[in-house]
Structure 1
Amino acid sequence: VTENLGIRAQDISTQVLPRDLHADYINTMAVVATSIEHFATEIRHLQRTEVREVEEFFAKGQKGSSAMPHKRNPISSENVSGLARVIRGHVITGMEDVSLWHERDISHSSAERIILPDTTILLDYILNRFTRIIEKLTVFPEKMKADMNLTHGLIYSQRVLLKLVDSGLSREAAYDLVQPKTALAWDEQKDFRQLLEADPKVMVQLTPAEMDDAFDYHWHLSQVQTIFDRVFK
């Protein structure tokens, strides 16, 4: 039978197979579910009203919050997060089933009749539901740019720091040159780049072209395709 199914027989078994095999299976399912939940949680945050950088598909006439008509709740991602918690709960039961009396009792059976099919079916549902989320996800690039601009350019402080180091300054000197301006930009809501360009000590080290490069967000995306190719090919 095992040969026809393309699986190997267990090397050692008594009345029942060692249950660590089943515990490992449940744990693997839980890791997959939790990894998907990680993405779903990010979508949930990014769909918050004040963030709104992405949004789950929202059909015409669909309702979000029953109390607040303006809200569009990420119900599918919330559903994925909740079901991942259920699967993680099954990990404990799977581990508890490992310890059997003399490898012969069947105390595991009643529990496994629930956790094995439920975990498998739930993960299949999570995978399919999250696939639909991604396929229909709405992305708002302009809102992403607007949110980045809320920092008044502070997100580029590391790039400026490293360019100053490349220009010949020590890291400590470069840090001492940049850090006070980040505080001023944040505390007084001033443009970080303008503060830098107003300081001769900075501009003697960096050319306008180097400043443009330091404040170009595309640099942070330059390796995205390489990473995707490494992971998905």
Structure 2
Amino acid sequence: MFPDATLVLDYMLNLFTGIMDRLRVYPEHMRENLERSYGLVFSQRVLLALIETGLSRQDAYAIVQRNAMRAWNERVPFLDLLLADPDVTSRISEAELRGLFDYGYYLKNIGATFERLGL
């Protein structure tokens, strides 16, 4: 069984190497795809920020869900709706709210990850 497993692993690594060699990344397309969500990719961060202000998870979820559904259905930026919602702005400042909508937050450990992988 061990020789079969190593043959399969060799095949998988060769296949993966071929895929990675031909992989093309278009950052501008990646950003466009993220923007198509109207900022909903940041909904979890907003939810957690609301909870940190002392709001119950259930109440915070209701606020986020209400605004998220409206953003999706009306095709308007999630951030704009949150900034206009007194249930949000009474608990989170505009600056803090805008800070939650930072793609860089999700990349903060990328250097350490690459270093750990030896890249």
Report the TM range for the smaller structure's normalisation. 0.7 to 0.9
CA distance, structure 1, for counterparts of residue 94 and residue 55 of structure 2: 18
Which structure carries more helix by proportion?
2
Percent of paired sites with the same residue? 34
1:162 and 2:48 aligned: yes
C-alpha deviation, 1:131, in angstroms: 5.6
CA distance, structure 2, for counterparts of residue 165 and residue 152 of structure 1: 22
C-alpha deviation, 1:214, in angstroms: 0.8
CA distance, structure 2, for counterparts of residue 213 and residue 32 of structure 1: 45
C-alpha deviation, 1:187, in angstroms: 1.6
Q: 1:28 to 1:210 in 2, by over 3 A?
A: farther
| Aligned residue pair count | 119
CA distance, structure 2, for counterparts of residue 127 and residue 161 of structure 1: 37
1:193 and 2:79 aligned: yes
User: What pairs with 1:30-109 in structure 2 (closer than 5 Å)?
Assistant: 30-31=8-9, 33-34=11-12, 36=13
Q: Is the 8 A contact 2:82 2:88 kept in 1?
A: yes
Instruction: Specify which of 7, 21, 24 is matched with residue 138 of structure 1.
Output: 24
Q: Deviations over 1:179-209 (max 9, x none)?
A: 1111111122121111111111100111122
Runs of 5+ in structure 2 lacking a partner?
none
Q: Deviations over 1:80-139 (max 9, x none)?
A: xxxxxxxxxxxxxxxxxxxxxxxxxxxxxxxxxxxxxxxxxxx4xx46634632xxx432
* 3-state secondary structure, aligned to 1:161: helix
Which residue of 2 is the match for residue 24 of structure 1?
2
Q: 1:152 to 1:130 in 2, by over 3 A?
A: closer
Instruction: Specify which of 103, 107, 112 is matched with residue 217 of structure 1.
Output: 103
Which residue of 2 is the match for residue 147 of structure 1?
33
Which structure ranks higher in relative contact order (CA pairs < 8 Å, sequence separation ≥ 6)? Answer: 2
Which residue of 2 is the match for residue 229 of structure 1?
115
Which residue of 2 is the match for residue 107 of structure 1?
none
Q: Deviations over 1:52-98 (max 9, x none)?
A: xxxxxxxxxxxxxxxxxxxxxxxxxxxxxxxxxxxxxxxxxxxxxxx
TM-score (norm 2): 0.85
CA distance, structure 2, for counterparts of residue 128 and residue 169 of structure 1: 48
C-alpha deviation, 1:32, in angstroms: 5.2
Runs of 5+ in structure 1 lacking a partner?
1-22, 37-122
Q: What amino acid sits opposite 1:173 in the alignment?
A: D
- When the two chains are superposed, the root-mean-square deviation of aligned CA atoms in Å is 2.1
Q: 1:201 to 1:32 in 2, by over 3 A?
A: farther
CA distance, structure 2, for counterparts of residue 166 and residue 32 of structure 1: 48
